[in-house]
Amino acid sequence: MVALPTGAQILTTGAVGLCLTLLSTAALAQQASPQAAPVSVEQLFDLIQVQRAQIEAQQRRIEQLEYAIRGITGAGQPGTNFSQADYSGQPGQVAQQGQTQGQQQQNQSTPQGQAVPQQPVGEEDRDAQRRRIDVSGVQDIGGVLTRKNHLVFEPSVEYENTSSTRFFFDGVEIIETVLVGDIEVSDADRQSITAAGTLRYGLTSRSEIEVKVPFVYRNDDVTQEVIGAGGATTSSLDAANIGDIEVSGRYQLNSGRDDWPIFVANARIKSNTGRGPFDVSRDADGIETELSTGSGFWAIQPGLTMIYPTDPAVFFANVSYTHSFGEDVDETIGGAEVGNVQPGDVVGFGFGMGFSLNEKASFSVGYAHDFVFETEQEIDGVTFESESFEVGRLSLGFSYALSNNINVNLNTQIGVTDDAPDVVLTLRTPLTFDLN
């Protein structure tokens, strides 16, 4: 026989159920509205802990977004280092949360779903860009600036070879195949080796200065022969002395942002410290018995370099104008009085491309062309002008980074015009020192 609940039992059970329901409703109401009166101290403490955890989560989220915005816009000023511990209190926490909430962070922190960088850019982007620009060949045109408070010592060795064979006819041509007179053949082989020490110093993040001191060794072998007369005369001359010291300055005009190329203004001053062509000894006929190691004239060369870095190539171009300052020689050479001499100005341009093979190796190809105008010289009171000429050179360069501070660069130039050197080989080893 089953016992049925009495009315008191039903009332007691309903009262207990109602109390439990009210307590549950109050707890839910307290979670929905923190301002409602707590049911108990224990429940209030639990709700405070829940709210505190939610606030901390929101604060971390806000800090993540601020961190991402600083990284995208480069808001950090130079010298300010933003680390992950600055925002999370624990190293690596921001990076982990960025991985678990990657898609949500992309949609809320960057426009058009761009990827959020995990570290600030700015200085690191500029360093990466500088590494892409640092390829062999670009340094020759003044397009790579030294970092601020960094000193670069660059020893270099350059070998140049020029050979030419010329025919001279002194007589009368009756018909095309009959010549009455003398035919003279001149064969000249000229070599030079220039060892130089260069110092570059970064004044600011956009400017640098440079000093180059060369030492020049030259050797000329000239053979002359008159066909039919028999015998040939050979003369050989050597010279070793300091060359023309140069001082240069460069300034980066823009930052290269918004897909713009980088423009660098260059200025070079060349001295006359080397022995010029009017400083050497000559015989009674005015023929040199010594060789010069410098131009003998001061010169200034302003220029502009354009660099457009892409990954992994770098395109570069430059234009320059060289003006030499004339001087009064006032010497008698071979029975003629030489007065004022004004060397011809030079307009030059060049272009090329550097390509990075990997983090250490790169190569470059380029072309350079110089237009040399007429030289004016006063002889016995009469001004004469020489002929203008052009010098064109193809170049191929290689670069390898032995370490972060030591590079080895090898550059080869091949002449493509009659007046250009046949070949020029240059080996440079820049050594970088941080003076901070």
Over the stretch 225-247, which tens digit does the pLDDT of each residue have? 655 555 667 778 899 999 999 99
**Domain stops at, among 123, 154, 188:** 123
Q: How many CB atoms lie within 10 A of CB 358?
A: 9
pLDDT digits (tens, 9 = 90+) for 106-153: 444 444 444 444 444 444 444 444 444 443 344 444 446 888 999 999
Q: Are residues 278 and 332 in the same domain?
A: yes
Number of domains within the chain:
2
Q: Are residues 118 and 229 in the same domain?
A: no
Q: Are residues 113 and 184 in the same domain?
A: no
Q: Are residues 262 and 354 in the same domain?
A: yes
CATH at 153: 2.40.160.40
**Domain stops at, among 123, 155, 189:** 123
Domain extent at residue 130? 126-434
Per the domain annotation, does 233 fall within a domain?
yes
Q: Are residues 173 and 321 in the same domain?
A: yes
Q: Are residues 111 and 160 in the same domain?
A: no
Per the domain annotation, does 5 fall within a domain?
no
SS3 state at 386: coil
Q: Are residues 132 and 66 in the same domain?
A: no
Q: Are residues 49 and 130 in the same domain?
A: no
CA distances from 243 to 263, 295, 355, 391 (A): 30, 9, 33, 21
Q: Are residues 115 and 171 in the same domain?
A: no
**Domain stops at, among 106, 123, 140:** 123
Per the domain annotation, does 192 fall within a domain?
yes
Cβ atoms of 297 and 343 within 8 Å: the answer is yes
pLDDT for the residue 31? 53
Assign 367 a pLDDT band (cuts: 50, 70, 90).
very high
Q: Are residues 413 and 373 in the same domain?
A: yes
Q: Are residues 107 and 146 in the same domain?
A: no
Give the lowest-confidence range in 27-31, 219-223, 229-233, 303-307.
27-31
Asked if pLDDT for residue 370 goes beyond 80, the answer is yes
CA distances from 252 to 111, 124, 132, 259, 266 (A): 31, 18, 16, 16, 9
pLDDT for the residue 381? 86
pLDDT for the residue 43? 76
pLDDT digits (tens, 9 = 90+) for 32-46: 554 555 557 777 778
pLDDT for the residue 44? 79
Rounded to two decimals, the pTM is 0.65
pLDDT digits (tens, 9 = 90+) for 372-416: 999 999 988 888 898 999 999 999 999 999 998 999 999 999 999
Q: Are residues 102 and 135 in the same domain?
A: no
Per the domain annotation, does 1 fall within a domain?
no
Assign 5 a pLDDT band (cuts: 50, 70, 90).
very low
What mean pLDDT is reported for the chain? 75
| Average pLDDT of the residues in 329-347 | 89
pLDDT for the residue 333? 83
